[in-house]
C-alpha cells in the first residue's frame, strides 16, 4: 500500500538490513538475529525490528546470503526436452519437493542435443548446489567427468556401473519383461519391437530384456524406430509387414503414432494386431482403444531424485542408486491374436 502503488518507475532501491537497523534503532546484527533466530533477542527490540521490516518491506538479499554461506539453496534440473511431458513431470516432482525444502529450481533445456548437456549442467551448477540430470544422452566417459566437476550430481533414468553416481531409474528391463509375459500369455508368438534411439541408455536396458524374453515360443522382431510419435507412425508399416501379431513400442508416444497409422490403414486394434506402450502418459487413457502399457510415476521419479540429492551431502557422502519398478496396466489395446491377420502368416507357414 502507499507510494509504491504508483507505477512511476522510479522504483526505490531495495531496503537493506542497514536501513532496517537504522529504522529500528538497533544494529544490523540484531536484525539478522531476529530474522534468522540464530541467537535470542529480547522482546522489545524484536518488536521494533519486526515492525521496521514490515514497514520497509525488507527481504534479505539472497546474493549476499549466498556469498556468505557458500551455498545457493537451488537445484538445477537439466532435461533433454521440456515439451516432452515425461520430463515436464519429472521436473514437477523435483520442483515440488525442492519447494518444500525452501529450495529454488533452475531449469535448462538441451533441445535433445547430447553435446549441450555438459555445458548446460556446468553452467547451471554455478548457480545451484547441484544438478539433477534427466536421461542424459552423453557418453559414459563424459558423465563420469562431469560428476567430478559438479558439486552434487543425481541422474534420472541413467545408471552407470563404473562411477558411483547416485541415480533413480526405472527398471526398464522389468517393464519389458512384464509386457512380453503378458503378450505370451495372450497367445502371441511373434512380436514386433519398435526400437528407441540406439544411443539411449534406456533403450540398451530394454534390449537386454528383449533378448532375455525372446525364446522358443516368443520371437521378437526388431524394427528401428525412434522416440517420437512420428517415428512410430512411420515404423508402423514395417511392423505390419513383419507378420507380427503384436507390436511392442518403445514408449507410449511411439505407440500412439503407430496407433494413428493403424487407424489410417483400417487395421483394427486389438482385433487384428495388439499394441503396447511404455510410460503411461495421460493421453494413453484417452485414445481408443485405451493403451495397454507399463506405468511409471514420473513425479515420483523427480521426488526420489530430490531425496537422493539431499542424501548426497556436499560432504561427499554419496546417495545410492534407486530402482523403480514399473507396473503393467492392461487396457484395451491388447488381446489374444484372433487370426484375422495372423492367419495369413500361419496358413501360409503351415502349408
Partner DNA sequence: CGACGGTCGGAAAAGGTTTTCCCTGGCTCC
Partner DNA sequence: GGAGCCAGGGAAAACCTTTTCCGACCGTCG
The yes or no reply on residue 321 touching a second copy (CB under 8 A) is no
Partner touching 256 among a second copy, DNA, none, CB below 5 to 8 Å by kind:
a second copy
The yes or no reply on residue 292 touching a second copy (CB under 8 A) is no
The yes or no reply on residue 231 touching a second copy (CB under 8 A) is no
Q: Which of 18, 51, 101, 286: binder of a second copy (CB under 8 A)?
A: 286
Q: How far apart are the first and last CA of the chain?
A: 88
Q: How far is the CB of 206 from a second copy (least distance, A)?
A: 22
* Dihedral sign of CA atoms 291, 293, 297, 299 in order: negative
Q: How far is the CB of 158 from DNA (least distance, A)?
A: 31
String marking each residue 297-316 x if it binds a second copy according to CB under 8 A: --x--------------xxx
Binding site residues, DNA, CB under 7 A: 13-14, 16-18, 25-33, 35-36, 38-42, 44-45, 58-61, 64-65, 67-70
Q: How far is the CB of 45 from DNA (least distance, A)?
A: 4
- How far apart, in whole angstroms, are the C-alpha atoms of residue 341 and residue 98? 52
Q: Which of 30, 32, 72, 245: binder of a second copy (CB under 8 A)?
A: 72
The cell numbers describing 108, all together, are: 535448462
The yes or no reply on residue 164 touching a second copy (CB under 8 A) is yes
Q: How far is the CB of 127 from a second copy (least distance, A)?
A: 5
The cell numbers describing 184, all together, are: 505370451
Partner touching 317 among DNA, a second copy, none, CB below 5 to 8 Å by kind:
a second copy
Long-range pairs for 41-47: beta carbons < 8 A, 24 or more residues apart: none
Q: How far is the CB of 156 from a second copy (least distance, A)?
A: 15
Binding site for a second copy (CB under 8 A): 4-5, 7-11, 57, 59, 61-64, 66-67, 72, 74, 81-83, 85, 88-89, 91-92, 95-96, 99, 104-109, 111, 124, 126-127, 145, 147-149, 151, 163-164, 229, 256-257, 259-260, 263, 282-283, 285-288, 299, 314-318
Amino acid at each position: 500500500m502507499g507510494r509504491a502503488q504508483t507505477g512511476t518507475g522510479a522504483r526505490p532501491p531495495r531496503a537493506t538490513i542497514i536501513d532496517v537497523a537504522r529504522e529500528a534503532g538497533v544494529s544490523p546484527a540484531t536484525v539478522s538475529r531476529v530474522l534468522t533466530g540464530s541467537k535470542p533477542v529480547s522482546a522489545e527490540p524484536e518488536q521494533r525490528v519486526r515492525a521496521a521490516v514490515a514497514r520497509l518491506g525488507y527481504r534479505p538479499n539472497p546474493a549476499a546470503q549466498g556469498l556468505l554461506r557458500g551455498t545457493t539453496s537451488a537445484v538445477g534440473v537439466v532435461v533433454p526436452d521440456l515439451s516432452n511431458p515425461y520430463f515436464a513431470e519429472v521436473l514437477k516432482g523435483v520442483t515440488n519437493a525442492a519447494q518444500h525444502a525452501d529450495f529454488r529450481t533452475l531449469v535448462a533445456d538441451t533441445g535433445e542435443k547430447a553435446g549441450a548437456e555438459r555445458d548446460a549442467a556446468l553452467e547451471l551448477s554455478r548457480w545451484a548446489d547441484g544438478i539433477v540430470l534427466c536421461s542424459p544422452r552423453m557418453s559414459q566417459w563424459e558423465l563420469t567427468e562431469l560428476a567430478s566437476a559438479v558439486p552434487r550430481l543425481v541422474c534420472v533414468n541413467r545408471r552407470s556401473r563404473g562411477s558411483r553416481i547416485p541415480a533413480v531409474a526405472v527398471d526398464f528391463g522389468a517393464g519389458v519383461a512384464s509386457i512380453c509375459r503378458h503378450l505370451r500369455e495372450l497367445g502371441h508368438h511373434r512380436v514386433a519391437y519398435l526400437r528407441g534411439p540406439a544411443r539411449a541408455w534406456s533403450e540398451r536396458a530394454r534390449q537386454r530384456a528383449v533378448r532375455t524374453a525372446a525364446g522358443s515360443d516368443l520371437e521378437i522382431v526388431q524394427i528401428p524406430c525412434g522416440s517420437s510419435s512420428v517415428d512410430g507412425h512411420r515404423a508402423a508399416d514395417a511392423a505390419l509387414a513383419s507378420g507380427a501379431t503384436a507390436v511392442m513400442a518403445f514408449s507410449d508416444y511411439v505407440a500412439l503414432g503407430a496407433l494413428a497409422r493403424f487407424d489410417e490403414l483400417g487395421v483394427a486394434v486389438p482385433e487384428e494386431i495388439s499394441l503396447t506402450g511404455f510410460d503411461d502418459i495421460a493421453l494413453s487413457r484417452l485414445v481408443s482403444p485405451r493403451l495397454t502399457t507399463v506405468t511409471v510415476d514420473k513425479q515420483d521419479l523427480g521426488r526420489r531424485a530430490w531425496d537422493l540429492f539431499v542424501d548426497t551431502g556436499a560432504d561427499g557422502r554419496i546417495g545410492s542408486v534407486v530402482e523403480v519398478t514399473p507396473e503393467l496396466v492392461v487396457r484395451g489395446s491388447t488381446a489374444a491374436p484372433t487370426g484375422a491377420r495372423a492367419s495369413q502368416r500361419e496358413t501360409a507357414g503351415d502349408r
